[in-house]
Amino acid sequence: MGVTQTVAVASGGTITAPNSPAQVVIPGDALIPLDGGPPAANVQFGITPINVAATTNNMPGDYTASTGGNIVTIVSSGAMRISARDSNNVQYGLAPGTTATIRIPVSTRSSSVSATIPLFYFDDSSGRWIEEGQATLAGTGANRYYEGTVSRLSYWNADLVTETILVNGCVKTQAGQAVGNALVESDGIDYSGSSQVYTGADGSFLLPIQKNGKATVAALVGTQLTNTVSIGPSATDIALDSCLVTGSRDGFNIKLTWGASPSDLDSHLYTPNGDHVYFGDKGALTGFPFANLDVDDTSSFGPEVVTLIKVMQGTYIYAVHNYSGTQSPGITASPTRVELTRDGNTTVFAPITGEGAKVWWHVFNIEVDAQCNVSVTPVNAWLDQAPSPLPGGTPTICNVN
């Protein structure tokens, strides 16, 4: 959670985010308007820590940086946005020769963190991260942070330069046609970083991921997501066994993410024909139930990804199970989120209060009527046991392209 605080320019001050080690210490007479002129007496100073362990796409640019004249790939161990404006909405920066001391909360999917780490700021003009300075690890447990001094107000990132390998793959339609200009993206599983490329005219792509890292890969074609694959770890380039395949307009992508604890949350999709898509039966995309658990995670953060490539008439039930059974934190405080994407539109679900000792969260239902009209009904209910199974049968598939 971020915070905005009034700071007197003459005296400076310390700004600390609530329930977080995120902090900035500003010395007196260090803030100046970026467009010139005398400073106001007070400014509104804001800091926002960024939880890159939960989601890697909350920052500007991509995970590339300019350092020593080279473009390199970086992975994050925590980030924070710092800004200041006066009552006239004039943006402020640090005066030449002055610095601020910052504390960036540690946030990473990696199992290890470095004792010292380079700092990078985001450069709006180039759209890249620029290395400047270094930070030192301090604090304990959930309150670990990187502390360093900075000479500007910006997005700041505690990053390591990483080696990469290439993923060689392709994107096609369900009919087998190559898809050019599709956006392909990786998302680290055991590291906090991502990468993006576009497919060529023949649908092929070469996508960098961290060497010896694990990541997911999926593509966006217009407003339609493909299935998702999990790859790595590998020290050498990877060739995908098959192309990523686009779904129909009425297909869904369901992405479950959470925090460091509980270590294992599970996606469960119950389909109208009586199938149960979960880690014990991952489903299929080429036949019933036309739904598949693409990615299963058992070691914190996720993601778990379910792709529903076609819908059938009837009711789908989606629920999350706290397989670990731990309650400190549980599903709610982890925190846990479910992203449901259909035809380019994403709905985010977060658990409500009342979890107690319950280990099942019934998130939503997908209803498909006799005319193949699709609607999503939020349920947001806590259960002691799995939702009741659906009656089964062989309902009608809605063949919407």
Closest CA to 145 of 320, 22, 305: 22
Whole-angstrom Cα distance, residue 284 to residue 282? 7
Whole-angstrom Cα distance, residue 371 to residue 387? 26
**Strand ranges for 86-163 from DSSP E:** 92-94, 100-105, 116-123, 128-138, 145-150, 155-162
Structural tokens at position 337:
């989120």
Q: What is the pLDDT of residues 256-289, one digit of tens each?
A: 988 888 989 999 999 999 999 999 999 998 889 9
Q: What is the pLDDT of residue 323?
A: 94
Whole-angstrom Cα distance, residue 265 to residue 276? 16
Q: What is the pLDDT of residue 94?
A: 97
Name the 3-class secondary structure at 116: strand
Q: Which residues contact 305 (CB under 8 A, 6 or more apart)?
A: 216, 218, 228, 253, 254, 255, 256, 267, 293, 294, 295
Residue at token pair 């690890």: 137
Structural tokens at position 388:
């009741």
What sections of 90-204 are H helices per DSSP? none
The answer to whether the CB of 288 falls within 8 A of the CB of 275 is yes
Structural tokens at position 125:
């003009």
Among left, alpha and beta (phi > 0; psi -120 to 50; other), residue 90 is: beta
- CB atoms inside a 10 Å sphere around CB 52: 28
Q: Which DSSP string corresponds to 222-246?
A: TTEEB--EEE---SS-EE-SS-EEB
Whole-angstrom Cα distance, residue 293 to residue 177? 24
Residues of the chain falling short of pLDDT 50: none
Whole-angstrom Cα distance, residue 266 to residue 264? 7
The answer to whether the CB of 13 falls within 8 A of the CB of 26 is yes
Q: What is the pLDDT of residue 57?
A: 80
Whole-angstrom Cα distance, residue 16 to residue 7? 12
Say if residue 289 is preceded by a cis peptide, omega within 30 of 0. Answer: yes
Q: What is the pLDDT of residue 278?
A: 95
What sections of 179-332 are H helices per DSSP? none
